[in-house]
Amino acid sequence: MSRKILLEHADVPGIDTFPIYRQHGGYDSVEKAVKMDPMAIVEEVKTSGLRGRGGAGFSTGIKWSFLDRKSNNPRYLVCNADEGEPGTFKDRYFMEKLPHLLVEGLIVSSFALGTHTAYVYVRGEFFWIIEALEVAIAEAKAAGFLGKNILGSGFDLEIYVHPGAGAYICGEESALLESLEGKKGYPRIKPPFPAISGLFGCPTVINNVETIAAVPWIIVNGGPAYAAIGIGRSTGTKLISASGNIKKPGVYEIDMGITVEEFVMSDEFCGGLLEGRTLKAIIAGGSSVPILPAHLAFKTAAGEPRLMTYESLFDGGFASGTMMGSGGFIVLDNTACIVRNTWNFSRFYHHESCGQCSPCREGTGWLEKVLHRLEHGEGKMHDIDLLVSISKKIEGHTICALGDAAAWPVVSAVLHFREEFESHVKNRGCL
Amino acid sequence: MPKFSDASLAKVKEIIARYPEGRHKSALLPVLHMAQAEFGGWLSTETMDYVASVIGIQPIEVYEVASFYTMFELQPTGQYVLQVCHTGPCCLVGADKIIAHLESKLGIKVGDTTSDGLFTLKTVECLASCGTAPVMQLGRRYVENLTEAKLDEMIESIRGNKS
């Protein structure tokens, strides 16, 4: 059994309302935090080992400690709720179930960072979540947990919800800031990093929903208690969105350290494959991470059991490993076509490329075209190496990581499933 | 010339106040969403010019943003816009078949509107609903775990209400 930290009360009827949430210990962390030294909260988060849950996996405590506190400008906390990585739907599920836990996390995090305004950038398609968050914010404010002089501490905070409008790129933190400023979502060249010059040119911390939601538990229970869960540098629990060819798609909270095999096959999580099907591949961290063939999914190249941790998923690097990413876990069985799936993802990246950097703007289009002709029986053998060649010319040559994200799924698919690509050429399409 | 209701104008003012002095341009996405909802489901040039004047920015600043984000419609649409997700995880569990079924049921291709102006069929990229795939957006909500039967029933019901 994995324990539940974020989702402990997810199924309590009415938990999305303030009174019920409060009855279950909600907002206790705010009462504790406002009596603490803000820097002690930062230290607690550092000790917890919490890492950014949006995909990059960078230490949250260290990110917080980079915030320029000497600047005379206001500081901002921005919550990235622009969930759009294919295969990922955990933040949506979480915000639908527990809007108050996000608000609570924002209050404690803002207190620690000394920010008096926090923005939650929610993907625009989530109309009902935007409304639910605004209700939760109003309820928290009416109860004295938001607004002026929170709980008599002298600390002021306002939280605003800001809708996106359908652009995957705005999940990239600097593009998100541009979007929040009312512009096109063009990623910024870094440095300067947002901690120095972010929203409106002011020091800014940007954290994913799940990251901020973990903070209340850490403050109530202590950083060491959080660090005690998981293995090595993969501390705490992680929300995994499971989809594709499995019996029980859904969002699961796991202790980091269970095996990939347990996650896929056990009834507690994915429930295994459909009857009569066999595993072909997994995509462990959303569409952007390298695909893993079945023989590398449950075991590493060295034959060790593969674990649901940042390190174990990456074991073997890009030759035989992958990444935790956002925790968007997609399972492909023997009925899935790798070429078709790779073409599909390339179309996605081409569509979502913001167009700012030419390697990505042009390259993603070429990848889509070449994959389209392979899938539709018009490909040539040399197209397979052409895919790798284009990908290598995108990777590392763009302002943001969307270019890399477009390249990795293609390179890994060719690396692990070359025969399937060749068979598409020989047989003029899918068998 | 489009014009917001008094209630909407008050809302616009409240939205602008969420951002620091001089940063009123930040209100652009929320106000464009309001405008699209209030002025017929799409953003005409007149609507975008109006939004620019209400926020206090140049029309070109509105055009470049409205044309960048896929949720903003720059052409009139049908009354009901079916936006079916066609990204990887949805396709692993049958989104392609759902889209083909809708094309045949509505007698139009993706991107088109039925001649009675009732339905527009579109495909969209990942809606973050992969666990309840296939999925589509319809207005301000999602319709999940799509099946052909479920869609048929929904379409017939909408058509029935109109006739």
Task: Give which of A325, A122, A369 is closest to B33, Cα–Cα.
Answer: A122
- Do the interacting molecules here have an ipTM over 0.90? yes
Alpha carbon separation from A251 to A26, A76, A94, A105 (Å, rounded): 22, 30, 9, 20
Q: Is residue A6 part of a domain?
A: no
Q: Which residue of B has its CA nearest to A244?
A: B89
Inter-chain touch B88–A351, beta carbons under 8 Å: no
Where b means 16+ CB within 10 Å and e means fewer, B31-63 reads bbbbbbeebebbbbeebbbbbbebbebeeebbb
Residues A125 and A255 in one domain: no
Q: Is residue A224 part of a domain?
A: yes
Q: What is the pLDDT of residue A1?
A: 58
Task: Provide the shortest C-alpha distance from residue A349 to chain B (in Å).
Answer: 10
Q: Is residue A11 part of a domain?
A: no
Q: Is residue A3 part of a domain?
A: no
In angstroms, rounded to a whole number, what is the distance separating the alpha carbons of residues A317 and A323? 9
Instruction: Find chain B residues with C-beta within 8 A of A86's C-beta.
Output: 87-89, 125-126, 130
Please state the domain count of chain A: 3
Model confidence at A3, pLDDT cuts 50, 70, 90, reads confident
Residues A94 and A327: beta-carbon distance below 8 Å? no
Q: Is residue A200 part of a domain?
A: yes
Substitution target in B60, B87, B91, B141 with the highest count of A β-carbons within 10 Å is B87
Residues A328 and A366 in one domain: no
Inter-chain touch B89–A330, beta carbons under 8 Å: yes
Percent of chain B whose pLDDT exceeds 90? 97
Q: Is residue A12 part of a domain?
A: no
Instruction: Find chain B residues with C-beta within 8 A of A185's C-beta.
Output: 68-69
Residues A304 and A184 in one domain: no
Residue B162 has pLDDT above 80, yes or no: no
Who among A128, A165, A249 is closest to B71 (CB)?
A: A165
Arithmetic mean of pLDDT, A179-196: 97
Percent of chain A whose pLDDT exceeds 70? 99
Q: What is the pLDDT of residue B134?
A: 98
In angstroms, rounded to a whole number, what is the distance separating the alpha carbons of residues A281 and A296? 9
The domains located in chain B, with CATH, are: 6-66 (1.10.10), 80-162 (3.40.30.10)
Q: What is the pLDDT of residue A429?
A: 82
Q: Is residue A40 part of a domain?
A: yes
Residues A110 and A216 in one domain: yes
Token pair for A20: 């019920």
Q: What is the pLDDT of residue B1?
A: 83
Inter-chain touch A167–B89, beta carbons under 8 Å: no
Arithmetic mean of pLDDT, B49-61: 98
Domain that holds residue A253: 231-333
Residues A22 and A98 in one domain: yes
Residues A244 and A157 in one domain: no
Residue A430 has pLDDT above 90, yes or no: no
Residues A212 and A276 in one domain: no
Arithmetic mean of pLDDT, A399-409: 96
**H/E segment holding residue A80:** strand A76-81
Residues A216 and A363 in one domain: no
Q: Which residue has the tokens 């004047």?
A: B53
Arithmetic mean of pLDDT, A33-57: 97
Peptide bond into A191 cis (omega under 30): yes
Q: Where among A187, A205, A228 does a domain terminate? A: A228
Residues A49 and A177 in one domain: yes
Kindly report the CATH number assigned to the domain that includes residue A269. Answer: 3.10.20.600
Q: What is the pLDDT of residue A390?
A: 98
Kindly report the CATH number assigned to the domain that includes residue A164. Answer: 3.40.50.11540
Instruction: Find chain B residues with C-beta within 8 A of A368's C-beta.
Output: none
Residue A397 has pLDDT above 70, yes or no: yes
Q: Where among A307, A333, A359 does a domain terminate? A: A333
Task: Provide the shortest C-alpha distance from residue B87 to chain A (in Å).
Answer: 6
Residues A218 and A241 in one domain: no
Percent of chain A whose pLDDT exceeds 90? 98
Residues A212 and A346 in one domain: no
Taking only the tens place, the pLDDT of each residue in A301-341 is: 999 999 999 999 999 999 999 999 999 999 999 999 999 99
In angstroms, rounded to a whole number, what is the distance separating the alpha carbons of residues A162 and A85? 19
Inter-chain touch A92–B140, beta carbons under 8 Å: no
In angstroms, rounded to a whole number, what is the distance separating the alpha carbons of residues A16 and A114? 27
In angstroms, rounded to a whole number, what is the distance separating the alpha carbons of residues B11 and B19? 14
Task: Provide the shortest C-alpha distance from residue A129 to chain B (in Å).
Answer: 10
Residues A311 and A260 in one domain: yes
Peptide bond into A192 cis (omega under 30): yes
The residues that bridge with A259 in the sheet, in sequence order, are A307
Kindly report the CATH number assigned to the domain that includes residue A400. Answer: 1.20.1440.230
Global pTM value:
0.97
Taking only the tens place, the pLDDT of each residue in A52-101 is: 999 999 999 999 999 999 999 999 999 999 999 999 999 999 999 999 99
Arithmetic mean of pLDDT, B123-132: 97
| Mean model confidence pLDDT for chain A | 97
Residue B163 has pLDDT above 90, yes or no: no
Substitution target in A97, A344, A350, A371 with the highest count of B β-carbons within 10 Å is A344
| Mean model confidence pLDDT for chain B | 97
Residue A364 has pLDDT above 80, yes or no: yes
Q: Where among A228, A247, A271 does a domain terminate? A: A228
Residue B121 has pLDDT above 70, yes or no: yes
